């Protein structure tokens, strides 16, 4: 991507400023209270911000329209107060690094903390009722510039796997839609790739062949109590769990889930995974009506280019995988709730039937939406595999694992060809940081996996990682329903804070409710070292932190798996 300008805006009653930088973090221009020249600067450029589609683009529009600082502050307060604005200046063409970043919707400060960077917050009150002093203005410029730097880093992390893929999707749209689609999210773009107008909604579920009484043959393959929750129009019961095949199996309105009732550790595990399950069920059920043929063409095209053109392959995959969610999305062109339910029910019945057929010959380990893991000493599963594929018009792929350890259906560790694979909140950060999610106390994930897979003592793992302070950090954030973060003496701290378990007597940060009651952050120490500077600047780390605290926390987590 060329001609990129990264920017951020800060607004006060008597002061408004915007910082523009290039991708190398070099200052291009700073505008403060005088905005002449912005239009010339941004014309022909692509602006990149963070949450700018909901805030900065509108403030920049006001600057381009010649608003006074008082008018800009009024607009700022309206946006922050929840008023939706529509008009964007025609000179503004922008990308938003916040768009679809993660369901956690992290702010820049949270990301800075997760990265181990300095969490820089302004000490200047944004509601200040006067003009900023020179020192205050300098602080705000530094604060704004720092946020632009972080925005650049976030963009670089997302450029290839999000923005480039999104560009490819836009190129697949009719030409008359492309100019405005750069602000759409990828699910909206994907829907418009497939359809230009809504298709008729189904009045009920559709599951293929009927019996002589007019009931779907497929529904006979599951217990009647399961059918009852699917056929309840009010969906009063969201799920039902049955005990079968030595597993607790949950049916509902998502994927089929199940886990062995008593065992947690298995060797020589096979996993039969349904290839592109939802896309193929959508084809089987003709869930997109007239657009199903186009969907089939996209599926075939993706298979053709999968190993030739990764960028196009990723874009096509996004179209294919977004359809099921769009069927449930009331704002989507594809919205068709009963078609979505049909896809969901078909998938659960098909996977349950696979489990039923396998069960006499295998020990079922894990059942999760589109895959069944099991152990067996028989090859009978191969015959079942092929018969099932013919019956349900789906394709299975086999994976093999030397070791499989699980706490529940959504938390497991698997060893494949010596490589550790992890899934679930307890272990997902074993391999790498999760910069856009919760990245606190990664050391606990590492201790857990090393202990369960390699039988490595927790203390050894902790000591091996003392040169990486950010693995031990908590990033604390009080939600919007709280007054903020306070210590026991009533002192208020930043909105986002980095803390460690302190060996010496420290402070205890807690969330303050609206009634002034204090609430603990989960699993946090009584004695905290607050460190909002860069983690790399923390000297003598091994002498500052309470190793025993992390050791005990890791042991508690391990107990849940044993």
The rounded distance, in Å, linking the Cα atoms of 447 and 459 is 8
Residue 151 pLDDT greater than 80, yes or no: yes
Calculate the average pLDDT of the chain: 95
Tell me: do 447 and 397 sit in the same domain: no
Residue 234 sits in a domain whose CATH number is 3.90.1600
The pLDDT confidence band at residue 557, using thresholds 50, 70 and 90, is very high
**Candidate from 234-243, 250-259, 314-323 with smallest mean pLDDT:** 234-243
The reported pLDDT for the residue numbered 480 is: 86
pLDDT of residue 214: 84
Q: Are residues 482 and 538 in the same domain?
A: yes
Based on the domain organization, do 312 and 370 belong to the same domain?
Answer: yes
Residues 149 and 247 in one domain: no
* CATH number for position 112: 3.30.420
Q: How far apart are CA 365 and CA 404, in angstroms?
A: 9
Question: Would 207 be classed as within a structural domain?
Answer: no
Owning domain of residue 450: 442-559
| DSSP assignment string, 338-373 | HHHHHHHHHHHHHHHHHHHHHTTTSEEEEEESSEEE
Domain stop point among 408, 434, 460: 408
Task: Specify whether 229 is located in the same domain as 121.
Answer: no
Question: Is 209 a member of any domain?
Answer: no
**Distance between terminal CA atoms of the chain?**
50
Residues 252 and 324 in one domain: yes
pLDDT digits (tens, 9 = 90+) for 264-317: 999 999 999 999 999 999 999 999 999 999 999 999 999 999 889 999 999 999
For range 224-229, the mean pLDDT: 95
* Residues 396 and 479 both lie in one domain: no
Mean pLDDT of 345-352: 98
Q: Which residue has the higher pLDDT, 433 or 211?
A: 433
Compute the distance between CA of residue 61 and CA of residue 68 in angstroms, rounded to an integer. 12
Distances (CA, A) of 505 to 501, 527, 530, 545: 10, 6, 12, 11
pLDDT of residue 232: 87
Least confident of 73-77, 306-310, 321-325, 348-352: 306-310
Mean pLDDT for 499-506 is: 94
Report pLDDT for 233: 82
Q: Which residues contact 110 (CB under 8 A, 6 or more apart)?
A: 475, 477, 496
| 272 sits in which H/E element | strand 265-274
CA distance 366 to 406: 9
User: What 3-state DSSP class applies to 528?
Assistant: strand
3 state SS for 459-504? HHHHHHCCCCHHHHCEEEECCCCCCEEECCCCCECCCEEEEEEECC
Say what the pLDDT of residue 137 is: 97
Model confidence at 1: pLDDT above 80: no
Residue 132 lies in a domain: yes
φ/ψ of 306, rounded to 5, equals -50, -40
Where is pLDDT greater, at 479 or 40?
A: 40
Taken in order 166, 153, 73, 34, the sign of the CA dihedral is negative
pLDDT value, residue 236: 82
Same-domain pairing of 352 and 404: yes
Confidence of residue 432 (pLDDT cuts 50, 70, 90): very high
| Within a domain: 429 | no
User: Tell me, what's the pLDDT at 199?
Assistant: 85
Same domain, 150 and 59: yes
Report the distance separating Cα 278 and Cα 144, nearest Å. 44
529 and 388 fall within a common domain: no
Pick from 390, 408, 426: which residue ends a domain?
408
391 and 459, same domain (yes or no): no
Please state the domain count of the chain.
3
Q: What percent of the chain has pLDDT over 90?
A: 94
Note the pLDDT of residue 235: 80
* Residue 193 placed within a domain: no
Shared domain for 398 and 448, answered yes or no, is no
Q: What pLDDT, on a 0 to 100 scale, did the predictor assign at position 503? A: 95
Residue 399 host element (H or E): strand 396-408
List strands edge to edge, sheet with 16-21: 27-32, 16-21, 4-11, 46-49, 94-96
pLDDT for 446 beyond 80: yes
What is the per-residue pLDDT for 422?
97
Q: How many CB atoms lie within 10 A of CB 401?
A: 22
Strand ranges in 74-128 using DSSP code E only, listed in sequence order? 94-96
Beta bridge partners of 252: 239
**The predicted structure's pLDDT at residue 2:** 78
- Confirm whether 81 is domain-assigned: yes
**Strand 371-375's sheet: what is its strand order?**
239-244, 247-252, 257-260, 363-368, 371-375, 265-274, 396-408, 411-416, 419-423
Judge whether 164 lies within some domain: yes
pLDDT of 212: 87
pLDDT at 211: 84
Give SS3 for 27.
strand
Q: What is the mean pLDDT of residues 12-32?
A: 98
- Asked whether residue 388 is assigned to any structural domain, the reply reads yes
């Amino acid at each position: 991507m060329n001609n990129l300008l990264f920017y951020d805006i800060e607004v006060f009653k008597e002061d408004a400023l915007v910082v523009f930088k290039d991708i190398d973090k070099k200052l291009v221009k700073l505008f403060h209270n005088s905005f002449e020249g912005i239009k010339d600067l941004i014309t022909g450029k692509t602006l990149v911000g963070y949450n700018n589609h909901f805030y900065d683009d509108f403030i920049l529009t006001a600057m381009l329209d010649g608003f006074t600082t008082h008018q800009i502050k009024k607009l700022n307060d309206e946006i922050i107060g929840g008023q939706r604005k529509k008009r964007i200046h025609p000179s503004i063409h922008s990308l938003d690094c916040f768009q679809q970043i993660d369901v956690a919707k992290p702010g820049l400060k949270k990301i800075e903390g997760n990265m181990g960077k300095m969490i820089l917050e302004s000490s200047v009150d944004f509601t200040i009722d006067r003009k900023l002093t020179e020192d205050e203005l300098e602080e705000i410029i530094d604060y704004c510039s720092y946020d632009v730097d972080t925005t650049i880093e976030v963009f670089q992390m997302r450029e290839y796997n999000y923005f480039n893929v999104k560009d490819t999707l836009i190129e697949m749209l009719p030409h008359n839609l492309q100019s405005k689609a750069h602000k759409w999210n990828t699910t909206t773009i994907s829907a418009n790739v497939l359809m230009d107008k809504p298709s008729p909604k189904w009045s009920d579920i559709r599951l293929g062949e009927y019996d002589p009484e007019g009931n779907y043959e497929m529904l006979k393959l599951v217990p009647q109590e399961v059918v009852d929750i699917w056929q309840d129009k009010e969906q009063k019961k969201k799920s039902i769990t049955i005990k079968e095949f030595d597993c607790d199996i949950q049916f509902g309105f998502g994927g089929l889930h199940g886990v062995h009732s008593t065992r947690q550790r298995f060797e020589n595990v096979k996993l039969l995974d349904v290839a592109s399950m939802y896309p193929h069920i959508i084809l089987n059920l003709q869930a997109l009506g007239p657009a199903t043929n186009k969907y089939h063409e996209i599926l075939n095209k993706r298979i053709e280019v999968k190993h030739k053109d990764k960028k196009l392959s990723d874009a096509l995959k996004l179209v294919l995988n977004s359809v099921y969610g769009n069927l449930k999305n009331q704002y989507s062109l594809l919205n068709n709730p009963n078609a979505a339910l049909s896809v969901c029910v078909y998938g659960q019945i098909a996977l349950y039937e696979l489990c039923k057929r396998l069960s006499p010959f295998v020990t079922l380990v894990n059942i999760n939406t589109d895959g069944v893991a099991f152990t067996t000493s028989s090859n009978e599963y191969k015959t079942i595999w092929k018969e099932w594929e013919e019956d349900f018009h789906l394709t299975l792929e086999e994976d093999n694992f030397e070791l499989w350890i699980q706490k529940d259906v959504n938390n497991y560790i698997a060893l494949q060809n010596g490589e550790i694979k992890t899934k679930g909140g307890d272990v997902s950060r074993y391999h790498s940081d999760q910069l856009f999610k919760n990245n606190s106390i990664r050391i606990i994930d590492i201790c857990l996996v090393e202990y369960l897979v390699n039988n490595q003592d927790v203390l050894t793992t902790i000591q091996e990682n003392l040169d990486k302070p950010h693995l031990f950090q908590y990033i604390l954030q009080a939600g919007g329903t709280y007054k903020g973060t306070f210590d026991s003496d009533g002192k208020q701290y930043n909105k986002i804070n980095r803390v460690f378990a302190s060996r010496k007597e420290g402070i205890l940060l807690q969330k303050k409710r609206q009634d002034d009651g204090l609430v603990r952050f989960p699993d946090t120490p009584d004695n905290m070292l607050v460190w909002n500077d860069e983690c790399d600047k923390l000297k003598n780390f091994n002498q500052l932190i309470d190793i025993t605290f992390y050791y005990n926390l890791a042991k508690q987590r391990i107990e849940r798996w044993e």
